Amino acid sequence: MNFYIALLHYPVLNKNNEIIVTSVVVHDIHDISRAAKTFGVRKFFVVEPFEGERQIVERIEHFWQTSGKEYNSNRLEAISVLSLKEKFKDVLDEITQEAGRIPVVIGTSAQKKDAHEISFKKVAELLKEDLSVLILLGTGWGIAYRELGNVDYFLPPIEGIGDFNHLSVRSAASIVLDRIISQFKEL
């Protein structure tokens, strides 16, 4: 299955709607890797332009590939899908080279987008058709899509009961992956 996800630390927004770079959160790396492996994601890309922040991810990888694998081999298996990139373009280039085609790029947001909404079922159908699919996950206050470009569709926001809608990216990733793969298994 040509299913990919990318966690973007740039270009993302702060609460004042300014474009920023966010820091790596160690729990995001562990938890999203585990969810990605569970739901059949081929690669989980972490996009971080700052070298110091990329070194944090590299240290996590190194730990689980060396002494950590003796402590918990499941974590080594989970991070086997992890791929660290400096720029979003690097993600697109790698998927295109690996899968032999440009992926269908699908954005996520806590707010409803007016542009090209796609259902979780339709994403599952794209995967069944063996198309390459890349789901974008944002940090901070969301992805700066105008800056990013290259987005074909948007998933609907994950909604709860009330007006509050600010899930951690770890939670959102697990919910999105579960909804897509639940639909995939029913096809």
Contact 48, 57 (CB under 8 A): yes
Query: Which residue range is the domain that position 22 belongs to?
Result: 3-186
Q: What is the pLDDT of residues 70-96, one digit of tens each?
A: 999 999 999 999 999 999 999 999 999
In which band, very low, low, confident or very high, does the pLDDT at 19 lie, cut at 50, 70 and 90? Answer: very high
Percent of the chain surpassing pLDDT 70:
100
User: Would you give the distance in Å from CA 50 to the centre of its chain?
Assistant: 18
Q: What span, in angstroms and rounded, lies between the C-alpha atoms of 54 and 52?
A: 5
pLDDT of 149 higher than 90: no
The CATH number covering residue 80 comes to 3.40.1280.10
pLDDT at 156: 96
Question: Which pLDDT score is estimated for 148?
Answer: 86
**Rounded to whole angstroms, how far apart are CA atoms 52 and 180?**
34
Mean pLDDT rounded to a whole number for the chain: 96
pLDDT one-digit tens code per residue, 83-136: 999 999 999 999 999 999 999 999 999 988 877 899 999 999 999 999 999 999
For the residues of the chain, what is the DSSP string, one character each? Answer: --EEEEEE-SSEE-TTS-EE-PPP-HHHHHHHHHHHHHTT-SEEEEE---HHHHHHHHHHHHHHHTHHHHH-HHHHHHHTTEEEESSHHHHHHHHHHHHSSPPEEEE--SS--SS-B--HHHHHHHHHTT--EEEEEE-TT-B-HHHH----EEPPPP--SSS-----HHHHHHHHHHHHHHHHHH-
Q: Give the length of the chain.
A: 187
Q: What is the pLDDT of residue 99?
A: 94
β-pairing, 133-138 with 3-8?
Answer: parallel
The total domain count for the chain is 1
